[in-house]
Amino acid sequence: MEAVNATEALVMAMEALRVNRLRSVLTMLGVIIGVLAVVILVAIGTGAKDEIERQISGLGTNIILVVPGRISLGAAPTQSKLGLADVAYVRRVVGDPSKVTVSLQSGETVRVGRTEVFVTVIGTDQNLVNIFERPVGKGRPLSETDVDTRRRVAVLGSEVADRLFGDLDPIGRQVTVAGARFRVVGVYATVGQTFGLSRDQEIHIPVTTAQRLLGIERINGLAVGASGPDEIDPLSDRVTAALRDRYPGEQFSAVTQTALLGTIGSVLGMLTGVLAAIAGISLLVGGVGVSNIMLVSVRERTREIGLRKALGARQRDILAQFLIEAVLLTTIGGLVGILLGVGGALAIEAFTEVPASITWWSIALAFGVSAAVGVFFGVAPARRAGRLDPVIALRAE
Amino acid sequence: MTAPAIEAVDLTRRYQLDGVAVEALRGVSLRIDQGEFTAIVGPSGSGKSTLMHLLGCLDRPSSGVLRINGVDIARLSDAALAELRNRTIGFVFQSFHLLARTTALDNVALPLVYRGLGRAERRARARAALESVGLGHRMDHRPSQMSGGEQQRVAIARALVGEPKVLLADEPTGNLDTANGAEVMAILDRLNAGGGVAVVLVTHEAEVAAHARRQVHVRDGLIERIHLRDGLAEDGAS
């Protein structure tokens, strides 16, 4: 005897699901929510990763940040012993003075008239704009003379300029930084955030002026620009080795974008994995629901199963019928979940601050898993149906 | 001489019910010839339903030999048994057993689904079967839209659509009023006379049993006597 053909079986299963519409939809809901959760959570995890990688690359390319102490995730920052003399030393080590810049940071209040904003004041030099690829929108960047002569001039981040001056042109106007008056010489172009800190909320002043203003001799760290990706590792080794020579017993760390991207990428990859696993659990719970409903369905349709057997259905025809129903429940649920998940992820991306980026592997995975869940959780009820004794089944109820 | 449609030799069937062995059949031998009309008669609990389930290959005997169309079913796998049911046996049940939300036409076509026939052929044959029981005008009705008599006629059409050798009818008039019951019996009579289908009727009503040429009386798991319509009696142990 020929097997029941596949289209036939599919039509039969669709019909059975249609007859029990409400129950089918409720059963699918478990799978829908599971798949939706997988797609959305993976999208958010991936979106966060993409966003952070974008921000890191936004810092500029081929930059080596040199800081005192040993850097590892979660370690407290070490007190800096580096000063401007060390910057000159590193410049000699690197060979090209324009490839080295410096940073001394402090949170300060900046005031214009009655308007006050709290900003990150960074003492730096004329090389920052080139190394960090920080374009100036208006006016000019800091100059070597500004640094050498300790001028009280400032270049504002675009957001600071907006908040202090509004529509006015800030160039040439006065701002009060930590009680001292500065003249605005430039405004940076808008660059956006890195790690939740807006770089448009910074004010850059000459590092020498900053040291006097804050009353300190040290600097926080320095940055070296490598001329190409291949130069990053040898150059950072050379710089840290030279600094260790100068300060025997001290540690210095070079942080590169590649290293940052690697570390953060693996942490966020793990996070995405955990999110996907949690969502996967809800998918599994949905599968248990399918199993449960299929068992109820087998019990309810015992007479039908008995009848089908009497009319010539084999065990495997009945098994296939119920298995197809289960798989249909989960795959339709899976497809709806994917549609809603993609829609949800797009909506999150469009209407919230949370970045979300849809990945095809998560959709394929969610669909594959939901089909597999149907098979896995459908087999037990379907086998039970297939093995029913027709005599007993026909007598049921 | 053609092989009998069904041949049973010394069938027994024991059940375990809550750990207690129940002997429903205790050695029944019976032969149903091609085209014969037989009634199996007996009070409830006599074993007549068990016998019918065995004759219809829904169940297997605990001992004894059962040959359907000359084939010993003891050697058949589940799939082969299912095929045998599909091709050789047609069932009519007391409670009709129609699929509730399915049209008369699709109900009748159901056995052919398991024979692997295409939709067009199934429908054509189902239509012919429905017309043969006088329900050509009820093709697209669902069971709930039909009277009990009509539902049983749909069930008969379903039993016939596969062109079986034997039609097994278990109390086919049990849920019907007199008029509908008479109509159903008339159809069975006609099928048996015209189509050469052997009919095995299980009933406890003497009036219904009287349609059969031969009445097999079952009691306590054994054949008590066999009664022929023309007045002769056969030996119970044939």
The per-residue pLDDT for B38 is 95
SS3 A117: strand
The answer to whether B218 touches B210, Cβ cutoff 8 Å, is: no
The amino acid at B229: R
| Closest in B56, B116, B158 to A1, CB measured | B116
Q: Give the residue, A68 or A316, on which the prediction is more confident.
A: A316
Length of chain A counted residue by residue: 397
Size of interface A-B (CB pairs under 8 A): 73
H or E segment and range at residue A180? strand A180-188
Predicted TM-score of the model (pTM):
0.73
- Least confident among A12-16, B30-34, B95-99: A12-16
pLDDT of A90 > 50? The answer is yes
Exposed (0-12), middle (13-18) or buried (19+): which is A302, by Cβ within 10 Å? middle
The rounded Cα A139 to chain-centroid distance in angstroms is 35
Query: Is pLDDT at A71 greater than 70 in this prediction?
Result: no
Q: Locate the DSSP E strands across A208-278.
A: 221-225, 252-256
Where does the pLDDT of residue B236 fall: very low under 50, low under 70, confident under 90, or very high at 90 and above?
very low
Per-residue pLDDT tens for A205-233?
999 999 999 888 888 888 898 888 788 88
Chain-centre distance for alpha carbon B138: 24
The enclosing H or E element of A22 equals helix A21-58
Question: Can you tell me the distance from the alpha carbon of B184 to that of B214, in angstroms, rounded to the nearest whole number?
Answer: 19
Q: Does A217 touch chain B (CB under 8 A)?
A: no
B219 at interface of A, judged by CB pairs closer than 8 A: no
The whole-number average pLDDT for the span A262-270 is 83
Tell if the CB–CB gap between A391 and B58 is shorter than 8 Å.
Answer: yes
Percent of chain B with pLDDT over 70: 96
Do residues A10 and A328 make contact, with C-beta atoms less than 8 angstroms apart? yes
Span B59-91, pLDDT tens digits: 999 999 999 988 899 889 999 999 999 999 999
Residues A158 and A136: their CA atoms lie apart, in Å, by 10
Which chain A residues are Cβ-neighbours of B78 within 8 angstroms?
A: 314-315
Give me the helices (H) in A141-206, please: 144-148, 158-165
B73-79's contacts with Cβ under 8 Å and 24+ in sequence apart are: B78/A314, B78/A315, B79/A1, B79/A314, B79/A315, B79/A316
pLDDT value of residue B238: 41
Residues of chain A found within 8 Å of residue B116, distances taken between Cβ atoms:
1-5
Inter-chain contact A313–B114, Cβ cutoff 8 Å?
yes
Portion 56-75 of B in contact with A at CB < 8 A: 56, 58-59
B41 beta partners: B203, B217
Which pair of tokens denotes residue A391?
A: 């005599």
Strands A115-124 and A197-198: unpaired
**Closest CA of chain A from B210, distance in Å:** 27
Percent of chain B predicted with pLDDT > 90: 76
Cβ-based contacts of B86 with chain A (< 8 Å): 1, 311-312
Whether the Cβ atoms of residue A89 and residue A100 lie closer than 8 Å to each other: no
Query: What average pLDDT is seen over chain B?
Result: 90
| Distance, first Cα to last Cα, chain B | 18
Question: What separation in angstroms does the CA of A353 have from each of A276, A356, B82, B116, B162?
Answer: 21, 9, 62, 57, 66
Give the H or E element holding residue B202. strand B198-203
For chain A, what percent of residues have pLDDT higher than 70? 94
Residue A1 confidence (pLDDT) above 50: no
Residue A195: which region, alpha, beta or left (left: phi > 0; alpha: psi -120 to 50)? left
**Buried b / exposed e across B108-133, counting CB within 10 Å, b at 16+?**
bbbbbbbbebeeeebbebbbebbebb
| B55 pLDDT more than 50 | yes
Q: Token digits for A233?
A: 């590792």
Residue A54 pLDDT class (50, 70, 90 cuts): confident
| H/E element, A29 | helix A21-58
Instruction: Enumerate residues 298 to 327 of chain A having a beta carbon within 8 A of any beta carbon in chain B.
Output: 303-304, 306-317
pLDDT score for B237: 42
User: Per-domain residue ranges for chain B?
Assistant: 6-96+164-228
Whole-number pLDDT of residue A74: 53
Write the pLDDT tens digit of every residue in A323-338.
999 999 999 999 999 9
Residue B231 has pLDDT above 70, yes or no: no
Closest to B13 measured CA to CA, from B56, B51, B44: B51
pLDDT at A313: 93
pLDDT band at A339 (very low <50, low <70, confident <90, very high): very high
- What's the rounded mean pLDDT across residues B142-169? 94
pLDDT attached to residue B16: 85
- CATH superfamily for B6-96+164-228 is P-loop containing nucleotide triphosphate hydrolases (3.40.50.300)
Average pLDDT, chain A: 87
Express each pLDDT in A230-249 by its tens digit. Answer: 888 888 888 888 988 888 88
What pLDDT is attached to residue B233? 56
